[in-house]
Amino acid sequence: MKCPELVNLPRVRGTKEDSWLLVVAKDVQVHFVLAEHRYELDLEFRWLNAPPEEMVNKWHMYEKLKKRGDQIDVNDSTFKT
Measure the CA–CA gap between 56 and 32, rounded to whole angstroms: 26
Torsion angle of C-alpha atoms 57, 58, 60, 65, degrees rounded to 10: 150
Q: Is the pLDDT of residue 28 over 70?
A: yes
pTM above 0.85, yes or no: no
pLDDT at residue 35, rounded to an integer: 85
The mean pLDDT of 7-24, rounded to a whole number, is: 84
Quick one: which H or E segment has residue 30? strand 28-33
Q: Per residue in 43-76, pLDDT tens?
A: 788 889 888 898 888 888 888 777 665 666 666 6
